[in-house]
Chain A
Amino acid sequence: MMVNESAIRYKQSRLMIQLLLASEALFFAALIIAFVYFRNLSMDWSESSKHLQVERTGFFSIFLFASSGTIALWSNALRKGKDKLALIYLAITIVFGAVFLFGQATEYLNLFSEEVTIDKDIFGSAFFTLTGFHAFHVFVGLIILIVTWMLCRIFGYGVGNEQIPPGMLVAEWYWHFVDVVWIFVFFFVYLKPLI
């Protein structure tokens, strides 16, 4: 009975996070569509977009993409019961995420120094809204991961279970999600104009 119940719990949590993320994906889709719409149709898609630093952001993006790998290693290690290793992978993931956010911050500061802001023109509005919401999601993800790390480290949360607890599963799915969203954002904001 108990086993059965926790299996259902697991299934429910997975389903819930999948649906939530699918819903969230549409939120980003709307913002991306707005961005592309303005780039193609707005007469004022100004000089501002020239200040984007593709290479630097590309470099920092690698950290986010890599963090998706490390978090997979984390849950894998957990499943195999290698708890020490798991903690290390999780820490690496957190650091990678933070490095990415740092990269975003430098990108923003650079744009600000060129006087590109959300209220300057339509590029500024679309760019900061889209990337800002993404960064916010990464930030929330970081908090989740840090809390998870502390729970594991201090209280042994999820240690010694055959199945990782639903909360951890949700955290992992969420983190992959912010990563996938960034693939699209990076493509449409940074790469597409080059093609």
Chain B
Amino acid sequence: MEGYKRNMIPEPETPLPSIKTGYGLLQWLSSTDHKQLGIMYLWMALFFFLVGGAEAMLMRAQLALPELNLLGPEVYNQLFTMHGTTMVFLVLMPTLIGLGTYFLPLMIGANEMAFPRLNAMSLWITLLGGLLLNFSYLAGGAPDAGWFSYAPLSEKNYSFTPGLDYYSIGLIVTGIGSIGAALNFIVTTITMRVKGMKMNKLPLFVWMVFFNSFLILGAFPLLNAGLFMLLLDRQLQAHFFLPATGGSAVLWQHVFWAFGHPEVYILALPAFGIISEVIPVFSRKKIYGYVTLAASTVFIALLSFGVWAHHMFAVGLGNPVNTFFSAASMLIGIPTGIKVINWTATMWGGRIFFSTSMLFAVAFLIDFTLGGLSGIAFAIAPIDWHITDTYFVVAHIHYVFLGGTLFASFAGIYYWFPKISGKMLSEKLGQWHFWLFLIGFNMTFLIQHLLGLLGMPRRVYTYPDLPYYGSMNFIATMGAVLMMIAMLIFIFNIFHSLRKGMKASSNPWYAWTIEWFASSPPSLKNFDELDEVKTSRPLIDWEKTNQRNDGE
């Protein structure tokens, strides 16, 4: 019995079992190995990126010219809701959590996460939530009240398809997955570091994922509470967010954004971490201001819970409240600005090597800063009143999410792909991907600042032929086409390089954090034995001691 059980799915013998042979697929599905799970997170994110991307392309097609009628308002509502929700919860979250799952243990010299089975559960439950959310298309209609589902639009009497029920359940389920991952990250970081790696020698990516996990633990329960209330309203006729019967629609906004604003930082901090790994390596310099980078992270994490009402200036909360949240929001610009300065100073005077990874990191610096600046503009209540719910908001979110988090994720993927797969990604295709994407991105979204200032509202399925509206929207749609082509190149690059790519050495970029000490791809058990860590650049130290030993 015992032996039979063990042989049901034999333990994999290679780090990347082929899914074509015998048990390969089952070995992936039943895996509790953090590397395999990390890889599956990334595939899942890519899959949902295609889903969310298709939704975006449909929207851009509808908006390409004034007064088009390709989709109609009902479908358009579902598309922008599903697009935003998918991109936030099923693309960016799994990408960052996936990179964390893969690299956090490697970077601290551990062989596993603290709770491997919890790790597997987090992945599969996140996927389950995503499938539930998308099942709504088949079950009568997708959610259609925007990714933040403001009540009372999200209530039964306005949105009577089951879409929002799937939204609530789907997000609760994925949220539980994120909480599981966060627990694992924290416990792993605290208890499984290699000898000598004090907290003040943590690689910055680990540091940011670690602190980010506290944000996840703080923010997601709030969302879940709100979602349960919404679900009860819709399913059991409760009254939470229905003003007509004693509830409060504003409470939903409070609950949602008390989660929502930390969430945007949840999507930013690990991205900051990636940038803090990539920039020093490709500048051949130590990171400038490790301590300020680390400390400003803590500052951001704390502040991010105190600024949520900057999403609610238009509600009319009164001057004292508005002023408080306005000031707090601007405060958060300071630690973020400090980081930007740190990264720039790291590049300053360095011998910069512009790999695709580095290009994305630099693009991140510029575009994320732009997104930050428009964010500070929003933090000023009177400005917000002018441009809220216009295309300026759409521009802003995309500069922080796409120009920010997504670019950082690309930087991370180009940087770490050799480690994960043992193959180099083609740099030539990478450059095409980068430039097309960068140009397309700025074409689409830079111009939307202007559209917003001219007063074009967001979330409208079409628009009248006002001066400049048609041409600007057309440019935006063309930019989207460029991004789509860039993504096709990227995906081709992945598959092509997996098959025919150059073999990667264990440390192709001459980096100095511990994940590069493992082979590429790392063996099933990451490390056999590791020396003590003395500084924040262990590989350089170990090389020195080795040379000394060789010399003797």
Contact = CB atoms under 8 A, between A and B. Distances in A.
Contact of B248 (A12, A42, A124): A42
Instruction: Enumerate the 7 nearest inter-chain pairs by beta-carbon distance, A residue then B residue, closest first.
Output: A44-B246, A122-B246, A30-B225, A119-B237, A125-B238, A27-B221, A23-B217
A159 B237 CA distance: 49
Contacts of B115: 12, 16
Interface string A23-60: 11011001100100110011111100000000000000
B240 interface: yes
Contact of B245 (A20, A31, A34, A121): A121
B218 interface: yes
A45 B187 contact: no
A23 B218 contact: yes
A129 interface: yes
A11 interface: yes
A15 to B, nearest CB: 5
Interface in B104-118: 114-115
A112 B114 CA distance: 46
A42 B217 contact: no
Given A26-B221, A30-B225, A34-B225, 13 more contacts: A8-B191, A12-B114, A15-B191, A16-B187, A19-B182, A19-B187, A22-B217, A23-B218, A27-B222, A38-B247, A42-B247, A124-B238, A125-B232
Given A27-B225, A122-B240, A41 B217 contact: no
B226 interface: yes
Contact of A118 (B190, B217, B232, B251): B232
A129 B232 contact: yes
B1 interface: no
Contact of A125 (B182, B217, B239, B255): B239
A42 B228 CA distance: 20
Contacts of B247: 38, 42, 122, 125
Q: What interface size band does chain B fall in? A: 20 to 34
Given A12-B114, A19-B186, A126 B191 contact: no
**Chain B interface main SS type:** helix
B221 A20 contact: no
Contacts of A45: 246
B118 to A, nearest CB: 8
Contacts of B239: 119, 121-122, 124-125
Interface residues of A, number: 32
A30 B183 contact: no
Contact of A30 (B182, B217, B226, B246): B226
A20 B238 CA distance: 28
Interface in B195-244: 217-218, 220-222, 224-226, 228-229, 232-233, 236-240
A11 B236 CA distance: 42
Interface in A96-140: 118-119, 121-122, 124-126, 129, 133
A119 B191 contact: no
Interface in A140-193: none
B240 A19 contact: no
Contacts of B251: 34, 37
Contacts of B179: 20, 23
A126 B183 contact: no
Of the candidates B115, B221, B229, B236, the one having the most CB atoms from chain A within 10 angstroms of its own CB is B221
A31 B17 CA distance: 46
Given A43-B246, A129-B228, A34 B240 contact: yes
Contacts of A125: 229, 232-233, 238-240, 247
A41 B190 contact: no
A16 B238 contact: no
A124 B232 CA distance: 12
Nearest to B191: A12
Contacts of B114: 12, 16
A126 B240 contact: yes
Nearest to B255: A30
Contacts of B233: 125
Given A27-B221, A31-B225, A126-B240, A38 B248 contact: yes
A110 B334 CA distance: 56
B190 A15 contact: yes
A51 B238 CA distance: 19
A187 to B, nearest CB: 19
B42 to A, nearest CB: 25
Of the candidates B115, B183, B217, B225, the one having the most CB atoms from chain A within 10 angstroms of its own CB is B225
17 contacts: A12-B191, A15-B187, A15-B191, A16-B183, A19-B183, A20-B179, A22-B217, A23-B179, A23-B183, A26-B217, A26-B221, A27-B222, A30-B255, A31-B229, A118-B232, A121-B239, A125-B232
A14 B228 CA distance: 28
Contacts of B246: 38, 42-46, 121-122
A129 B190 CA distance: 36
Interface in B166-199: 179, 182-183, 186-187, 190-191
Nearest to A17: B183
A12 B190 CA distance: 9
Given A27-B225, A34-B251, A44-B246, A20 B240 contact: no
A31 B246 CA distance: 16
A37 B258 CA distance: 15
Contacts of B222: 26-27, 30
Nearest to B258: A30
A45 B248 CA distance: 12
Nearest to A8: B191
A30 B245 contact: no
A26 to B, nearest CB: 4
A58 B217 CA distance: 32
A37 B222 CA distance: 15
A31 B228 CA distance: 10
A19 B217 contact: yes
B228 A20 contact: no
Contacts of A129: 228-229, 232, 238, 240
A126 B240 CA distance: 7
Nearest to A25: B221
